[in-house]
């Protein structure tokens, strides 16, 4: 018979084996969850929407902790209800706004008054204008207008500059001719409008030059894509002094957003070789945007561009900015949109904890919306943030400290918590300065056009091609933010750029051009 002690030994051995197997099974389960999360992430990146917008019902989770948070903070800014109206807006104004929205939603939007209109009358035949009752001729009492929107294709025209020639019939010596007008491309055929159309089509409407070549062919004008490429190069060279001035203004400002995105660059003229290059973007508080093309993602890019900059630099956590941020005169500001993204990715695997943090981050953004809707000054924004965002941030920090002890470091939630805690000081700088933004979305928005464009033109033609793109992208993106039509701006500036002295370049920047034109219009109205 087996002794009791031997049985106890076997039981102890089996218990040890069971504990080892249980730990191994739990490790396998954790690994499976991580792999499944990564698979879901890749599926969403490839097949799903790229946005991170949450349905309000996703935050209605029946967990006591989350309900307590919502109820505790409800008097300030309800999680799922609209924020209160800005100061000075009456109940009648809010009702009128609501009715205007409803009326617009159910009816057709009126056509813009500035659109050209062609009047075509469809009148009743003169012999049919008799009254069916008394047979007398009927009088016109009004009209019924039906609007129809039509399209007239763009046209390519030839503008002839005629210069009469004069000569003396008596002595028959010497010929007098007026001086030829200045042109954007000397001895070239394109006018400023055609050049502006090429630039806007490629860098704003994302039409590669080979597509523009086909479009011009449809309009009856044959021009090769190589010629179009030469035109783009000449225009970029002429516009570069304006962008250089904008760069100086960005470096001289006290608050800059920065970001970077990859693009492909052609490495030989035959098009066989490609390598990854980078477009960096810098945006100041006045919404001036300048792109900088670099062949690498190294720290040399921001170090060179921001040489002499002193102030707040808002970026993500990419290490390429660290050298700039180590300077004593530069303060790094982190981005809450990037911090939020980690918890959004963890929503599937850690629903309760991730939802808790996401709900509170949403509250932070609602405070920002209230400040924007109220058009508050920076001092008022700072006071609002300290009163409303400060307690929310303190609550988020408590959650992060708690989750850092329980969340697995390699899990999606653990990574999100570690990322946010590592940048906590940089993430909270914005509360104490009303000029700062809660996130780096200003720079992120500037990259959308590049992201769409590179799917169409695929690559830039070498380093010079990337530098051209950076110049034109800078002007077009700044035009959009200044509410300036890029085509009108480029057509006018290309015509004037050769005649402007260096001290007049400020009026040729998109914002300077807008202000100068508004001033001329106001003077004309006054005069």
Beta bridge partners of 279: 261, 293
Place of tokens 């303190």: 394
Long-range contacts of 341-346 (CB under 8 A, 24+ apart): 341/52, 342/412, 342/415, 342/416, 342/419, 342/420, 343/413, 343/416, 344/52, 344/54, 345/37, 345/41, 345/412, 345/416, 346/37, 346/411, 346/412, 346/413, 346/415, 346/416
> Tokens at residue 114, please?
């500035």
Question: What is the predicted pLDDT for the residue at 78?
Answer: 41
User: Would residue 448 count as lying in a domain?
Assistant: no
**Residue 141 is assigned to a structural domain of this protein:** no
The Cα 196–Cα 192 span in angstroms is: 6
Determine, yes or no, domain membership for 392: yes
Beta strand pairing call for 255-266 and 175-177: unpaired
| Residue 518 counted as domain residue | no
Residue 46, CB-side half-sphere exposure with 13 Å CA sphere? 6
Q: How many domains does the chain have?
A: 1
Q: Which residues of the chain have pLDDT under 70?
A: 1-2, 45, 48-107, 269-272, 498-503
> Counting Cβ atoms within 10 Å, is residue 279 exposed (0-12), middle (13-18) or buried (19+)?
buried
Determine, yes or no, domain membership for 407. Answer: yes
Q: How far apart, in whole angstroms, are the C-alpha atoms of residue 399 and residue 433?
A: 25
Residue 335 confidence (pLDDT): 94
Q: How far is CA 15 from CA 5, 21, 24, in A?
A: 15, 10, 14
Q: Is residue 376 part of a domain?
A: yes
Report yes or no on 482 lying in a domain: no
pLDDT at 6: 75
Domain containing 417 equals 336-439
Give percent helix, percent strand, percent coil of the chain, each to the nearest 5: 55, 10, 35
Give the containing element (helix H, strand E) for 27: helix 4-47
* CA distance linking residue 332 with residue 326, whole number of Å: 9
CA 441 to chain centre: 7
Q: Would you give the distance in Å from CA 347 to the centre of its chain? A: 26
**Assigned domain for 346 exists:** yes
């Amino acid at each position: 018979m087996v002794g009791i002690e031997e049985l106890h030994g076997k039981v102890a051995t089996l218990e040890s084996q069971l504990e080892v197997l249980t730990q191994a099974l739990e490790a396998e389960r954790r690994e499976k969850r991580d792999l499944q999360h990564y698979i879901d992430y890749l599926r969403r990146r490839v097949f799903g929407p790229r946005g991170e917008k949450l349905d309000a019902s996703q935050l209605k989770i029946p967990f006591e902790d989350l309900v307590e948070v919502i109820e505790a903070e409800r008097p300030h800014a309800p999680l799922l209800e609209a924020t209160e109206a800005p100061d000075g807006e009456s109940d009648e104004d809010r009702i009128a706004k609501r009715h205007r929205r409803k009326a617009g939603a159910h009816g057709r939007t009126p056509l813009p008054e500035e659109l050209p209109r062609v009047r075509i009358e469809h009148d009743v035949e003169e012999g049919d204008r008799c009254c069916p009752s008394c047979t007398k001729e009927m009088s016109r009492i009004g009209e019924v207008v039906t609007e129809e929107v039509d399209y007239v294709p763009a046209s390519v025209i030839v503008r002839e500059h005629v210069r009469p020639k004069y000569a003396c019939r008596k002595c028959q010596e010497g010929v007098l001719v007026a001086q030829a007008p200045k042109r954007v491309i000397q001895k070239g055929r394109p006018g400023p409008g055609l050049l502006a159309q090429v630039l806007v089509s490629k860098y704003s409407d994302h039409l590669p030059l080979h597509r523009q070549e086909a479009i011009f062919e449809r309009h009856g004008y044959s021009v090769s894509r190589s010629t179009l490429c030469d035109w783009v190069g000449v225009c970029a060279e002429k516009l570069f002094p304006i962008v250089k001035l904008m760069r100086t203004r960005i470096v001289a400002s006290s608050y800059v957003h920065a970001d970077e995105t990859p693009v492909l660059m052609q490495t030989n003229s035959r098009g066989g070789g490609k390598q990854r290059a980078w477009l960096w973007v810098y945006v100041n508080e006045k919404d001036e945007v300048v792109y900088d093309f670099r062949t690498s993602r190294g720290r040399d890019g921001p170090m060179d561009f921001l040489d002499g900059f002193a102030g707040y630099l808002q970026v993500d956590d990419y290490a390429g900015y660290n050298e700039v941020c180590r300077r004593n005169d530069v303060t790094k500001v982190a981005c809450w949109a990037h911090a939020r993204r980690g918890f959004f990715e963890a929503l599937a695997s850690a629903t309760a904890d991730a939802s808790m943090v996401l709900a509170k981050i949403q509250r932070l953004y609602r405070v920002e919306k209230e400040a924007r809707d109220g058009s508050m000054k920076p001092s008022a924004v700072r006071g609002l943030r300290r009163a409303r965002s400060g307690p929310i941030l303190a609550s988020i920090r408590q959650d992060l400290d708690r989750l850092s002890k329980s969340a697995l470091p390699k899990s999606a939630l653990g990574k999100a918590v570690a990322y946010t805690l590592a940048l906590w000081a940089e993430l909270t700088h914005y509360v104490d300065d009303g000029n700062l933004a809660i996130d780096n979305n200003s720079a992120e928005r500037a990259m959308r056009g590049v992201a769409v464009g590179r799917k169409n033109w695929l690559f830039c033609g070498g380093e010079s091609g990337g530098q051209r793109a950076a110049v034109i992208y800078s002007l077009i993106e700044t035009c959009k933010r200044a509410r300036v039509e890029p085509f009108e701006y480029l057509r006018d500036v290309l015509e004037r750029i050769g005649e402007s002295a260096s001290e007049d370049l400020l009026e040729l920047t998109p914002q300077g051009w807008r202000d100068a034109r508004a001033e001329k219009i106001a003077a004309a109205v006054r005069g």
